[in-house]
């Protein structure tokens, strides 16, 4: 989509939420705080991706989440962490 409707992409045409897993949005901040020490550990940017460990930590912290939800949450957290790290480095 382009033009003035770009700001409304998340809400769709009828104003309803387009995301299928709003429960992940509800716990994102808490999950980010749980994951942050793992992502911000010294040397973590130079080692292999912490994806597996991040998923284990998230699953331990949120045992009721489906494994697919844990995967989605971990990818989202890693992306936000990278974006915030870029912003802080500038």
Q: Take residue 15 and report the two structure tokens written for it.
A: 């104003």
**Tokens 């770009």 map to which residue?**
6
CA dihedral 69, 71, 77, 82 (to 10 degrees): -150
Taking the C-alpha atoms of residue 50 and residue 13, their distance in angstroms, rounded to an integer, is 38
What's this model's pTM, rounded to 2 decimal places?
Answer: 0.71
Per residue of the chain (90 residues), give pLDDT as tens: 444 444 444 545 556 666 778 899 999 999 999 999 998 877 655 455 678 899 999 999 999 999 999 999 999 999 999 999 888 877
Domain boundaries, the chain: 20-89
Say whether 39 sits in a helix, a strand or coil.
Answer: helix
Residue 12 in tokens? 């769709």
């Amino acid at each position: 989509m382009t033009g003035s409707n770009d700001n409304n992409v998340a809400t769709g045409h009828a104003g309803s939420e387009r995301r299928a897993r709003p429960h992940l949005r509800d716990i994102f901040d808490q999950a980010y705080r749980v994951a942050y020490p793992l992502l911000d550990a010294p040397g973590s940017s130079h080692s292999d991706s912490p994806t597996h460990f991040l998923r284990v930590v998230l699953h331990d912290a949120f045992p009721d989440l489906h494994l697919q939800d844990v995967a989605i949450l971990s990818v989202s957290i890693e992306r936000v962490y990278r974006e915030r790290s870029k912003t802080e480095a500038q």
